[in-house]
């Protein structure tokens, strides 16, 4: 039955397997076959007269298939075994068929007769098996034969067959949607919703929901809802999930219907299955929104929601994680529901790190005056743990508490100071970053701690911490006696610093100069020349020039601009955008709720059509996002590194800056820390860093800039971008921002391609393009058209340094030469690892001749 | 909305068994899984949900295997995770230990089960007792081939008809696990009871059961508010319990599955004194030694006794040469856990015991920062529930009218019982 020679196809010690086989005679014996002539040997055994031998041979074939060996050559021999009276053997043959039918479509037809026959078998198990397997054979020729047996099975007397047939309709739809529609299967499926058997109803609704996701074939109506609610009490736990998920897509006609649904599904909150509970929460959250908010019914209902969610925290850690991600949404949507439950989110020593991190997030969201002292002592405890990421997040959380609960800020600052005393390097750095935020929220209140911070100046080696410290020194320059020395020490190594630090240093020195002109005269000149003359970073240079001219043209105006009173930062800086939150609440329990991204951001666009975008966003966008007019002039003639001439840069900068503030301001609310130098204006104003960028009102952001327009630096026309166009620009940048893995959770749209480069300006090369995002990666889709008289070849793509650090990750090397009047599409992946600079993306396409 | 494929992988990420339900997952995608997992773990961003291009992996780990679901749509993750745990449960019923070796040993039946438990990514029948009626490891002739049991598609999908017992009995275990978290200065941060009512049912036919508890909501409804009752904060039921009935009049009525199952679980937050308490005082003489004085107190009624008490006290990982002194129980140093374990077989209520321990420390300090694990306690207190929950009655009605005996046991044990140390 098994041979003595053992092959090494298994990853574990084959000898051990073999020994065990002899002793136990388990299935593992089938994995041991001779290598030489193995297929031949199996072929003989499959054709053996003896039934036992046949079955053993099929098992060996399946075993080979399991370990990934190709046994498709045995297809005809295995199919020959199909007509058997042994159920187990039949199942194995079917299993083989499902795996290999695709590779042998012509031979697969051989099996059809047996399938059709089996669909008529007196035993319902066989009928169901046949229809289940046929649906899994993804061979087009077979689907035609599937229709008749399937139709019969949908009306079978046995519910086991009907429930299998219901799922089979979804399978057929996946292969051939038109067939399902033409052959009337949708109607048959609809009939099954009225089936007397709850499991049939559940599977029918699952199939229908899936078909509807592609294209709505049947609207869920109130009649259907009634049937579903009846079946809900009687079907299996999984069936209940299917039904609840289908109900989540239904919008009731009126309050009464909504209330009725709530009453009938809320008992499901007591189900032991976490999926049933979360799907119930999903439907309830949606319905609560529809009904009048102040009714007694709603108050009672929301009270019922908290206990089941808390109980989910005793589930398996993976389920806890999903529950916590969802609680994070629910807490943002309806903060009242869980406001009393702070303690259950306290971190336990053995919680997996992913659970710890999520609990921390929710603790901050729930922090308020009444529980802040508990929260703080917990956070302090966590900040002395050993896991670096967890500790950092805990320190950051203390800062967020200070900003959120004003009454606690004093204690938070005290706690942070104590943590700084520990001298643990990463704790100190994280603390400095959050203290800067606290200063932004409560200016002139805690300057007394600056000296303690300065003691740790030398240990700061992370850009964000250094930048924060420099901001603090600049901001309080008049009260730090040796501010000039401190800043000078940073200026020593100016060129070794990260851009973020350089920008901050420039601003801080200018502030120092404006506050104490006496001590910083030399320093400011040095920094300005470092920034404008020795740096090849356009962003830094631009800012240097602006300061320089500002200072020389009108020092009083400079003072007004640079030392202007800053708006306070808001407390909630990481809330999801409301429209996204709305969307995610409708997806409770699903992947979208775990990723906190809309489904369109991570699923195959072919399967789920992306949202249409607003057609008005086209033209202005192109001009703002991709300044191709300059590249077209330089593109063909100059080396790839050439930057547009200086005048042009400044003109561009100005037009850009008038847009950029609006953009950054709009984003401020939800930009997380980590995005570097977000927009020029904030830093110019000395607002400092990027963490918790405030929601600066657009108006106030514009005003301080007005003096600049009069400085004659750029094209005044650029300042007059009509206000209607601004949302468009925001949308455009939002797209890019949304693609930045770190930052916002903006919706993702796919913009249609826009004309980036007109043929008339670029020797016949026309370029259209857009940015898209797939699986968290940014791609640029480009269409190149050759409108010249001769062929073009050797294309290369380059982006100028831009504020998103976007760089092409690959080159279109494989692109064939482009003949006149032809066009080609290609997509290049982009990374955001490039140097981060101004808000434009200059895009170069070079046609190397 | 449904999952595309289920994989069972070994620890190296090699596929042991795969069932691709939808054919939309590239066969090479799963090979990326283990690398992705390692990478995320290294970055400190591990999570039970991973993404590789457009494929999403949702997974759990059990003994030395991973159960992974791969999907390309916006699936219900909670459902997938519950399903994967259910798979482990069913496999356990079929072949006891679910691990790499047993998966290979039973690949034929696993294929069959995966096909029966999930169709096109939709979970189907997952009641192992019902599955065992028609999916068996012995091959059958078609003539006597099994038919799908009625229960598969019935409203009562967890119990088959025609079950017979000579002696009709029901065993009820009320088990309460106490979760407690206390800070180093003795403040109780969190204290809750997670209770569970487990049943072993050996009853003939299709019996209808009704369980009565001293539930506060029920008592108040009946105007018996003064009787001793328990306020359950949240209750979860096995799918056999009629939830709508419970919602309307708090009656727990059900047709039970055959054999052992968990009928319900409940949770309540308590403000009672911790049952067992440990005070520690530590004297650290760095580079030479550390000594502990540990005082354990039982704070429950004198007539109850805690059994098998284990007090696990973390010590520095580089400690050695332990010396212990105690009046009761035994003490062991477990270097592999960096802890000393004090075991007391029987710990009556209202008592206090003392342990002193001395350990040497090396003169060279280790450079790695050590975490500060909490003291953990394990214990069991029989015939006692912390919440005071009581089974008032269990009514068993079957049409044949037999008499059945219900047996009830109570036990309180530790859940996550942690006391932080300084």
**Which range among A348-352, A380-384, B22-26, B46-50 shows the weakest confidence by mean pLDDT?**
B22-26
Whether residue A661 is predicted with pLDDT greater than 60 in this model: the reply is no
Q: What is the pLDDT of residues A242-260, one digit of tens each?
A: 999 999 999 999 999 999 9
User: What does the pLDDT look like over A69-88, one tens digit per residue?
Assistant: 888 888 888 888 888 878 88
pLDDT at residue A20 tops 50 = no
Quick one: average pLDDT of A332-352?
A: 93
Question: Given CA atoms A699, A704, A707, A713 in this order, what sign does their dihedral have?
Answer: negative
8 A C-beta contact, residue A576 and residue A332? yes
Q: What is the mean pLDDT of residues B316-342?
A: 92
Q: Which two tokens stand for residue A847?
A: 């046609």
pLDDT digits 0-9 by tens, A184-211: 999 999 999 999 999 999 999 999 999 9
Nearest to A305 by CA among A254, A260, A273, A339: A339
pLDDT over 50 at A408, yes or no: yes
* A671 touches A692 (CB < 8 A): no
The DSSP output letter for B253 is: E
Rounded CA separation B385/B409 (Å)? 10
Longest Cα separation, chain B: 80
Answer yes or no: are the C-beta atoms of A311 and B267 closer than 8 Å: yes
CA B293 to chain centre: 33
Other CB atoms within a 10 A radius of the CB of residue B34 amount to 17
Q: What is the pLDDT of residues A583-637, one digit of tens each?
A: 999 999 999 999 999 998 988 665 543 333 333 333 333 333 333 333 333 333 3
What pLDDT shows up at residue A513? 92
pLDDT mean over A164-177: 94
Strand, helix or coil at A773? strand
Contacts of residue B193, defined as CB under 8 A and 6 or more positions apart, other chains included, come to B176, B177, B178, B179, B267, B268, B269, B270, B386, B387, B415
Q: Do B169-272+390-419 and B276-382 have matching folds?
A: yes
* Separation CA A211–CA A166 (nearest Å): 12
Following DSSP, what letter does each residue of B330-390 receive, concatenated? EEEEEGGGTEEEEEEEEEETT-EEEEEEEEE--SSPPSS----PPEEEEEEEET--SS---
pLDDT, chain B, mean: 90
Question: Closest partner residue to A776 among B51, B74, B146, by Cβ?
Answer: B51
Q: Interhelix angle for A463-475 vs A483-492, to 10°?
A: 150
Banded model confidence at residue A241, pLDDT cuts 50, 70, 90: very high
| Strand ranges across the sheet with B276-285 | B276-285, B289-298, B352-360, B320-326
Distance from B370 to chain A by nearest Cα, in Å? 7
Find the DSSP H helices in A67-158: 75-80, 87-100, 105-118, 124-136, 140-154
With a cut of 80, say whether residue A570 has pLDDT above it: no
Dist CA B121 CA A206 (whole Å): 10
Q: Supply the pLDDT for residue A571.
A: 65
Answer yes or no: is pLDDT of B338 > 80.
yes
Those residues whose C-beta lies under 8 Å from the C-beta of residue A715, and which sit 6 or more positions away, are A651, A654, A655
pLDDT of residue B420: 93
pLDDT given for residue B225 in this prediction:
66
- Reply yes or no on whether the pLDDT at A130 is more than 70: yes
Instruction: State how far the Cα of A517 lies from the Cα of A508, in Å rounded to an integer.
Output: 13
Q: How confident is the model at residue A32 (pLDDT cuts 50, 70, 90)?
A: low
A170 DSSP assignment: H
pLDDT of residue A585: 95
Window 121-140 of A, Cβ < 8 Å to B: 123-126, 128, 132, 135-136, 138
CATH of A591-847, one of 1.10.10.60, 3.30.1390.20, 3.30.70.20, 2.60.40.1150: 2.60.40.1150
pLDDT band at A517 (very low <50, low <70, confident <90, very high): confident
Chain A residue with CA closest to B374: the answer is A349
> Token pair for residue A96?
């083989």
- Tell me: pLDDT of B247 over 60: yes
Q: How far is CA A440 from the centre of its chain?
A: 30
Is residue A294's pLDDT more than 90?
no
Of A21-25, A791-795, A829-833, give the lowest mean pLDDT range. Answer: A21-25
Average pLDDT of A460-478? Answer: 92
Quick one: pLDDT at residue A779? 78
Q: Is A804 within 8 Å of A506 (Cβ atoms)? A: no
Contact call for residues A204 and A192 (beta carbons, < 8 A) = yes
Q: Is the pLDDT assigned to residue B323 strictly greater than 90?
A: yes
Every domain of chain A with CATH number 1.25.10.10 lies at 14-247
- Shortest Cα–Cα distance, B180 to chain A (Å): 10
Q: Which fold has domain B276-382?
A: Immunoglobulin-like (2.60.40)
Q: Report the pLDDT value the prediction gives residue A767, as an integer from 0 to 100.
A: 78
- Joined together, the tokens standing for residue A599 give 């489904």
**CB-CB: which of B190, B236, B371 is closest to A271?**
B236
CB B132 within 8 A of CB B93: yes
Residue A473, pLDDT > 60, answer yes
Query: What average pLDDT does the segment A768-775 reach?
Result: 76
Q: For domain B5-152, which architecture applies?
A: 2-Layer Sandwich (3.30)
Helix (H, G, I), strand (E, B), or coil: what is residue B13?
A: coil
| A393 has a pLDDT exceeding 90 | yes
Helix (H, G, I), strand (E, B) or coil at B234: strand
The number of beta carbons lying within 10 Å of the beta carbon of residue A755 is 16
B166 CA to chain A: closest CA distance, Å? Answer: 30
User: Looking at the predicted structure, is the pLDDT value of residue A374 above 50?
Assistant: yes
A345 touches chain B (CB under 8 A): no
C-alpha span between B367 and A316 (Å, rounded):
34
How many Å apart are CA A742 and CA A831, to the nearest integer? Answer: 13
Q: What confidence score (pLDDT) does residue A11 get?
A: 39
Question: Residue B52 class from Cβ within 10 Å (0-12 exposed, 13-18 middle, 19+ buried)?
Answer: middle
Q: How confident is the model at residue B144 (pLDDT cuts 50, 70, 90)?
A: low
In degrees rounded to 5, what are phi and psi of residue A138? -90, 65
E strand intervals along A323-465:
none
A3-25: average pLDDT: 40
pLDDT at B100: 94
Q: Percent of chain B at pLDDT above 70?
A: 96
Place A835 in a pLDDT band, splitting at 50, 70 and 90. Answer: low
Give domain B169-272+390-419's CATH number out of 3.40.50.970, 3.40.50.920, 2.60.40.1170, 3.30.2000.10.
2.60.40.1170
Nearest to A607 among B72, B111, B244 (CB): B72
Q: Which of A63, A275, A311 sits opposite B234 (nearest CB)?
A: A311
Average of pLDDT values for A802-808? 71
Minimum-distance CB partner of B124 among A89, A95, A238: A238
For A481-504, what is each residue's pLDDT tens digit? Answer: 889 999 999 998 898 899 999 999
In the predicted model, what is the mean pLDDT of chain A?
77
Domain(s) labelled CATH 2.60.40.1150 in chain A stretch across 591-847
Residue A755, strand partner residues: A768
Region A538-543 average pLDDT: 92
Nearest Cα to A750, choosing from A730, A778, A722, A723?
Answer: A778
Which residues make Cβ contacts (< 8 Å) with residue A606, sequence separation at least 6? none
Pairing of strands B169-182, B405-419: parallel
Cβ atoms of residues A45 and A57 within 8 Å: yes
Give the residue carrying structure tokens 């098998």: B308
Q: Is the pLDDT of residue B352 over 50?
A: yes
Residue of A nearest to B135 (CA): A88
The answer to whether residues A797 and A828 touch, using CB atoms and an 8 Å cutoff, is yes
Q: Using an 8 Å CB-CB cutoff, list chain A residues near B215.
A: none
Which residues from A are below 8 Å from B114, CB to CB?
Answer: none
More reliable by pLDDT, A295 or B371? A295
Which residue from A281, A283, A350 is spatially nearest to A312, judged by alpha carbons?
A281
Q: How many CB atoms lie within 10 A of CB A812?
A: 17
Residue B321 falls in which region: left (phi positive, over 0), alpha (psi -120 to 50) or beta: left
Reading the block at residue A469, the tokens are: 């410290």
User: Cα dist. B405→B130, B202, B243, B264, B274 in Å?
Assistant: 25, 10, 25, 20, 35
pLDDT of residue A377: 93
Mean pLDDT lowest among A49-63, A460-474, B61-75: A49-63
Would you call A4 an interface residue with chain B, using a CB distance cutoff of 8 Å? Answer: no
CA A721 to chain centre: 33
For chain A, give the percent of residues with pLDDT over 70: 74
Query: What are the tokens at B262?
Result: 């968990």
**A contact residues 82-101, partner B, Cβ 8 Å cutoff:** 84-89, 91-92, 95
Contact yes or no for A817/A788 (Cβ under 8 A): no
Is the CB of B239 less than 8 angstroms away from the CB of A271? yes
Whether residues A775 and B51 touch (CB distance < 8 A) is answered with yes
Domain A14-247 has CATH 1.25.10.10: yes
Q: With beta carbons under 8 A apart, name residues in chain A contacting B262.
A: 272
- Across the interface, do B145 and A12 touch by the CB < 8 Å criterion? no
Radius of gyration of chain B (CA): 26
| Residue whose C-alpha is closest to residue A250's, from A278, A279, A225 | A225
Q: What is the pLDDT of residues B156-201, one digit of tens each?
A: 889 988 899 999 999 999 999 999 999 998 899 999 999 999 999 9
Q: In what order do the strands lie in the sheet with B208-213?
A: B252-254, B208-213, B391-397
* A87 closest CB neighbour out of B101, B145, B233: B145
Q: So what's the ipTM on this one?
A: 0.92
Domain ranges of chain B: 5-152, 169-272+390-419, 276-382
A542: nearest Cα among A832, A805, A839, A834: A839
DSSP string, B51-100: EETTEEEEEEEETTEEEEEEESS--BHHHHHHHHHHHHHHHHHHHSS-SH
Q: How far apart are CA A47 and CA B395, in angstroms?
A: 60
Q: On the CB side of B146, how many CA atoms lie within 13 Å of its CA?
A: 17
Q: Which residue of A has its CA nearest to B81?
A: A319
Bridge-partner residues for A245, per DSSP? none
Highest mean pLDDT among A12-16, A217-221, A825-829, B153-157: A217-221
A676 touches chain B (CB under 8 A): no
**Both tokens assigned to A476:** 């309080």
pLDDT-based confidence at residue A447 (cuts at 50, 70, 90): confident
User: B93 and B34 in contact (C-beta within 8 Å)?
Assistant: no
Residue A802 pLDDT level (bands cut at 50, 70, 90): low
pLDDT surpasses 80 at A787: no
Please give the residue that has the higher pLDDT: either B271 or A359: A359
Q: Which residues of A touch B72 (CB under 8 A)?
A: 603-604, 607
Main-chain dihedrals φ then ψ at residue A847, nearest 5 degrees: -115, 95
Contacts of B185 (CB under 8 A, 6+ apart): none
φ, ψ dihedrals at B211, nearest 5°: -110, 130
Contact B386, B417 (CB under 8 A): no
By percentage, how much of chain A surpasses pLDDT 90?
42
Is A695 or A507 the better-scoring residue by pLDDT? A507
Residue A684 confidence (pLDDT) above 90: no
| Other beta carbons within 10 Å of B91 | 24
Per-residue pLDDT at B137: 65
Residue B104, SS3 per DSSP: helix
Both tokens of residue A831?
């990374």
């Amino acid at each position: 039955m098994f041979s003595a020679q053992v092959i090494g196809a298994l990853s574990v010690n084959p000898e051990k397997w073999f020994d065990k086989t002899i002793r136990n005679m388990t299935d593992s014996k089938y994995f041991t076959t001779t290598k030489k002539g193995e297929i031949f040997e199996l072929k003989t055994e499959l054709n053996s007269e003896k039934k036992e031998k046949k079955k053993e041979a099929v098992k060996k074939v399946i075993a080979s298939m399991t370990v990934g060996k190709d046994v498709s050559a045995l297809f005809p021999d295995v199919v020959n075994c199909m007509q058997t009276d042994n159920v187990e053997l039949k199942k194995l043959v079917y299993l083989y068929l499902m795996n290999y039918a695709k590779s042998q479509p012509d031979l697969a037809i051989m099996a059809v007769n047996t399938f059709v026959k089996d669909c008529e078998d007196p035993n319902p198990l066989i009928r169901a098996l046949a229809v289940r397997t046929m649906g899994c054979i993804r061979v087009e020729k077979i689907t035609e034969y599937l229709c008749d047996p399937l139709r019969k099975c949908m009306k079978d007397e046995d519910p086991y067959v009907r429930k299998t047939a219901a799922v089979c309709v979804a399978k057929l739809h996946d292969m051939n949607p038109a067939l399902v529609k033409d052959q009337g299967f949708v109607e048959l499926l609809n009939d099954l919703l009225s089936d007397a058997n709850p499991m049939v109803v559940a599977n029918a609704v699952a199939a229908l929901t899936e078909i509807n996701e592609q294209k709505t074939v049947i609207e869920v109506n109130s009649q259907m809802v009634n049937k579903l609610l009846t079946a809900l009490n009687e079907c299996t736990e999984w069936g209940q999930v299917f039904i609840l998920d289908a109900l989540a897509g239904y919008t009731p006609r009126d309050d009464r219907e909504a209330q009725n649904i709530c009453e009938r599904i809320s008992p499901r909150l007591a189900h032991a299955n976490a999926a049933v509970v979360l799907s119930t929460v999903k439907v309830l959250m949606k319905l609560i929104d529809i009904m009048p908010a102040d009714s007694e019914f709603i108050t009672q209902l929301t009270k019922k929601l908290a206990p089941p969610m808390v109980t989910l925290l005793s589930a398996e850690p993976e389920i806890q994680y999903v529950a916590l991600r969802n609680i994070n949404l629910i807490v943002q949507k309806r903060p009242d529901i869980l406001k009393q439950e702070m303690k259950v989110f306290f971190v336990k020593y053995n919680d997996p790190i992913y659970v710890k991190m999520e609990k921390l997030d929710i603790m901050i969201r729930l922090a308020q005056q009444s529980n802040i002292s508990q929260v703080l002592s917990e956070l302090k405890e966590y900040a002395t743990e050993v896991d670096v990421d967890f500790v950092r997040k805990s320190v950051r959380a203390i800062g967020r508490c200070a900003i959120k609960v004003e009454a606690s800020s004093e204690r938070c600052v005290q706690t942070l100071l104590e943590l700084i005393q520990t001298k643990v390097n990463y704790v100190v750095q994280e603390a400095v970053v959050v203290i800067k935020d606290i200063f932004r929220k409560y200016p002139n209140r805690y300057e007394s701690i600056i000296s303690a911070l300065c003691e740790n100046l030398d240990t700061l080696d992370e850009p964000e911490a250094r930048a924060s410290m420099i901001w603090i020194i600049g901001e309080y320059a008049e009260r730090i006696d040796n501010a000039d020395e401190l800043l000078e020490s940073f200026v020593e190594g100016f060129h070794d610093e990260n851009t973020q630090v350089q920008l901050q240093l420039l601003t801080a020195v200018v502030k120092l100069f404006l506050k104490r002109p006496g001590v910083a005269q030399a320093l400011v000149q040095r920094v300005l020349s470092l920034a404008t003359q020795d740096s090849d970073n356009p962003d830094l240079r631009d800012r240097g020039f602006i300061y320089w001219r500002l200072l020389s043209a009108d020092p009083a105006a400079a003072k007004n601009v640079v030392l202007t009173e800053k708006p306070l930062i808001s407390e909630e800086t990481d809330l999801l955008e409301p429209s996204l939150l709305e969307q995610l609440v409708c997806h409770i329990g699903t992947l979208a709720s775990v990723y906190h991204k809309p489904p369109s951001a991570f699923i195959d666009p072919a399967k789920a059509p992306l949202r249409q975008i607003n057609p008005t966003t086209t033209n202005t966008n192109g001009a703002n996002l991709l300044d191709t007019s300059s590249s077209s002039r330089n593109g063909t003639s100059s080396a790839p590194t050439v930057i547009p001439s200086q005048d042009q840069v400044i003109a561009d900068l100005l037009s850009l800056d008038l847009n950029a503030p609006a953009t950054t301001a709009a984003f401020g609310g939800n930009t997380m820390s980590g995005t570097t130098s977000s927009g020029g204006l904030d830093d110019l104003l000395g607002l400092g860093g990027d963490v918790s960028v405030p929601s600066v009102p657009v108006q106030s952001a514009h005003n301080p800039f007005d003096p600049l327009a009069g400085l004659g630096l750029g094209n005044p026309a650029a300042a007059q971008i009509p206000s209607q166009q601004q949302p468009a620009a925001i949308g455009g940048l939002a797209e890019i921002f949304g693609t930045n893995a770190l930052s916002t959770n903006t919706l993702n749209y796919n913009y249609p391609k826009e004309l980036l480069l007109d043929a008339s300006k670029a020797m016949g090369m026309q370029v259209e393009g857009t940015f898209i995002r797939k699986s968290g990666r940014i791609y640029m889709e480009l269409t190149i058209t050759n409108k010249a008289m001769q062929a073009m070849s050797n294309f290369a793509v380059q982006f100028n340094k831009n504020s998103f650090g976007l760089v092409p990750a690959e080159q279109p090397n494989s692109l064939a030469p482009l003949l006149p009047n032809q066009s080609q599409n290609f997509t290049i992946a982009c990374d955001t690892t490039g140097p981060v600079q101004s808000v434009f993306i200059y895009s170069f396409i070079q046609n190397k001749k | 909305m449904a999952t595309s494929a289920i994989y069972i992988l070994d620890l190296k990420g090699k596929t042991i068994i795969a069932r691709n339900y939808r054919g939309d997952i590239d066969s090479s995608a799963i090979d990326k899984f283990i690398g992705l997992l390692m990478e995320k773990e290294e970055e400190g961003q591990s999570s039970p949900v991973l993404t590789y291009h457009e494929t999403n992996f949702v997974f759990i780990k059990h003994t030395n295997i991973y159960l992974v679901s791969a999907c390309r749509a916006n699936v219900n993750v909670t459902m997938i995770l519950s399903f994967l745990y259910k798979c482990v449960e069913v496999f356990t019923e079929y072949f006891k230990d679910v691990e790499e070796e047993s998966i290979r040993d039973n690949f034929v039946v696993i294929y069959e089960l995966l096909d029966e438990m999930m169709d096109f990514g939709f979970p189907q029948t997952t009641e192992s007792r019902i599955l065992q009626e028609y999916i068996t490891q012995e091959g059958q002739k078609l003539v006597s081939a099994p038919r799908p049991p009625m229960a598969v598609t019935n409203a009562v999908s967890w119990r088959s008809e025609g079950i017979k017992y000579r002696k009709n009995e029901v065993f009820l275990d009320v088990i309460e696990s106490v979760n407690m978290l206390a800070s180093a200065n003795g403040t109780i941060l969190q204290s809750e009871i997670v209770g569970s009512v487990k049943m072993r049912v050996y009853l003939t036919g299709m019996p209808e059961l009704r369980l009565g508890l001293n539930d506060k909501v029920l008592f108040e409804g009946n105007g018996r508010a003064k009787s001793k009752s328990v306020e359950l904060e949240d209750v979860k039921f096995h799918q056999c319990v009629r939830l709508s009935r419970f919602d309307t009049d708090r009656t727990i009525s059900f047709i039970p599955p055959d054999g052992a199952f968990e009928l319900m679980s409940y949770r309540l937050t308590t403000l009672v004194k911790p049952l067992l308490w440990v005070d520690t005082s530590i004297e650290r003489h760095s580079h030479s030694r550390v000594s502990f004085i540990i005082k354990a107190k039982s704070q429950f009624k004198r007539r109850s006794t805690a059994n098998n008490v284990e007090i696990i006290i973390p010590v520095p990982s580089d400690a050695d040469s332990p010396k212990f002194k105690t009046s009761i129980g035994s003490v062991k140093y477990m270097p592999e856990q960096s802890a000393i374990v004090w075991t007391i077989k029987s710990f009556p209520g209202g008592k206090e015991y003392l342990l002193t321990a001395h350990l040497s420390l090396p003169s060279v300090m280790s450079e790695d920062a050590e975490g500060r694990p909490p003291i953990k306690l394990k214990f069991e207190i029989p015939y006692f529930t912390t919440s005071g929950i009581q089974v008032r009655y269990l009514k068993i009605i079957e049409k044949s009218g037999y008499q059945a005996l219900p047996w009830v046991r109570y036990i309180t044990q530790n859940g996550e019982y942690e006391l932080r140390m300084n």
